[in-house]
Amino acid sequence: MLAKNNLPTKINFKVIETDEVNAFANADKEICVYTGMLKFVQNDAELAGVIAHEIGHIVNNHVAKQNVLGTITATAIYNANMDSRLKAGANAANNLTMLKMSRTEEYEADVTGVDLMTKAGCNPLAMVSVLYKISGNYADFTSTHPSGDKRTMYIYDYITYTYPAKAKLGYTSDSYKKFMAYAGPIVKERNADPKKLASFKKKQAKLKEKRIAKLEKYKTAKQSNGWDKSLNVIKFLSE
């Protein structure tokens, strides 16, 4: 997937022995996949969907950005001259801000992952299938992940507009069938309403243009981005 997308960043992969169904990307540009996730996915295409999503976090500099902002905010909070109640309030506000931003980043990583999967010759609908199975475990407001219905609908809409040929292929899994039972009526209603359909196409056209431009910018950029450099400076100053 990395080679077929001509990504400049060297990414390492690590398998962690645990039954938890999860995967994540860290600041060292490692993608860690739990053995629970390896058992959970139905096939290689669904595993590719999970990995593509995590690569999306790296491509969009989410991990480095979160580390920088988290370090700056934590330093400001704990060095401030405030009593314990004010510190608690500042912490709560910071946590909600970071979670809200993280939910946005999940969407961004999802659609970037779709682009990467498609370029690599994978069926991006596999991402819809696997995330629909697991994302229902996350609360919509307090979690860093969007709800299952909203998240997978966002991905599916992006696929149907940007890669219509892939969308027509369909995907065979119980979770995808359940998702389509939810999404089908929504799509049918939207297609029957000229205003809703026009609004949908306009929104997707902007998203497609933005995603393509950002991915190309990343491919031509050096591996060390601004967020990486900022994090290195903060680490040096805090030693």
- Give the catalytic positions in this structure: 54
Per the document, the length of the chain is 239
Q: Which residue has the tokens 């995808």?
A: 176
Residue 223: its H or E element: none
Dihedral sign for Cα 193, 199, 205, 210, please: negative
Structure tokens at 91: 């912490």
Task: Give the amino acid at 206.
Answer: K
Structure tokens at 26: 């860290």
Structure tokens at 30: 């490692």
Dist CA 235 CA 237 (whole Å)? 6
